[in-house]
Amino acid sequence: MFCAPFPPAQVATTAAPDAAKDAEAVLNEVRTRMKAVQEAYTLHISFGKSRASFDPHLMPMMESFDARLKAEKRREVRQALLVAKLYIAPRAGIKVTPELQQEVMAELPPTSPAWSLEPRLLLYAVGSLADQRMADDYLAKARENHADPSVRGPLIYNQFQEGFYTKNEALWKGALEKLDKEYAKEPYTKEAHGMLENAAKTAIGIVAPAFSIKSLEDPKTTFTNASFAGKYLLLDFWATWCGPCRGEMPQLHAAYQKFKGKGLRVLSLSFDQKVEDIAPYRADPTHAMPWNHAFVEDGFRSPLADAYGVRGIPKPVLVGPDGKILATETDLRGRNLERTLEKFLGKP
């Protein structure tokens, strides 16, 4: 992993006019090409062709960038070419190597104009740093000093997300204050407020929103809040197409086996597009999910999703015997799941 100090170039300097112009030309070349690719993709799908059969024809551009980098000595242009490669590679079906990430981080300062191509690339590249303090310092410099507000805004929103998901109230409140002050009209600022509004719908201590939904196994059975009165109920919003949901299955199976004897019940609520998608997944013994199931028609657009503030999955919610919410989200994910269940149900 790349652990060297940031290059002196992290201090903003004035680029030679021709270098700055040529660097911007590289970024515009990528923007123009990707706009054409998106239009071609839309047309491809409109003809009923599969997504997998679409070829964006980006390899010639990648090869061109490689050749230009071998000859290019001007710092600003090299930075633009490296960010362009980082952006194009996965869209061309090329795996982004650690070497490319490290090269990007070695040559690009936090304030490089090249990050304007796609601010999220900065977050991705920083992930290659082994030193977390170095990564945090890099992001802070970009967030505070980058000349392009379209770079600073998303980085502040990322800081809000970090504070929100780690329950660092001071962090997310500070980030939200900046968003409201400087980026009030941006979609991500609206999204930040939406996250808070939805989190309030499953706030700790409130009565779980009412639900009524048919059992997947027995259509004659309808699950409601009252069906689980006196029990600890883990509501599991999920889908077979959701990679993180599938990733939770080993921990969820293990926790269920340990705590079902202490009154734990699980109700998995599928957001799959078709109910027929569920059975094939559960046919594998490693994720049989031997508990209660229901299929949520309309998924994220359903009244149930609105009631529980489900904007993304997986979303676990633990309801106590009295019907009040005890825990949600990260407290019920991965290794935290058993720790949280043991806190309320005792050791298995």
Other CB atoms closer than 10 Å to residue 3's CB: what's the count? Answer: 10
CB of 115 within 8 A of CB of 148?
yes
* pLDDT attached to residue 13: 43
Over residues 88-134, the pLDDT tens digits come to 999 998 998 888 998 999 999 999 999 999 999 999 899 888 888 99
Q: Judge whether residue 43 has pLDDT over 90.
A: yes
Task: Yes or no: say if 324 and 206 are a contact pair by the CB < 8 Å rule.
Answer: yes
Position 17 scores a pLDDT of 66
Q: How far apart are CA 156 and CA 158, in angstroms?
A: 5
Residue 259 has pLDDT above 70, yes or no: yes
Domain residue limits, the chain: 15-147, 149-200, 212-345
Q: Each residue of 300-344: pLDDT tens digit? A: 999 999 999 999 999 999 999 999 999 999 999 999 999 999 999
Q: What is the mean pLDDT of residues 248-272?
A: 96
Centre a 10 Å sphere on the Cβ of residue 56 and count the other Cβ atoms it contains: 18
Tokens of 73: 């000595």
- Predicted local distance difference test score (pLDDT) of residue 254: 96
CATH T-level assignment (fold) for domain 212-345: Glutaredoxin (3.40.30)
Pairing of strands 212-214, 222-224: antiparallel
Does 161 have pLDDT greater than 60? yes
A 10 A CB-CB count for 296 gives 22
Backbone phi and psi for residue 292, each to the nearest 5 degrees, phi listed first = -75, 145
What is the token pair recorded at 187? 């979609």
Q: What is the mean pLDDT of the chain?
A: 92
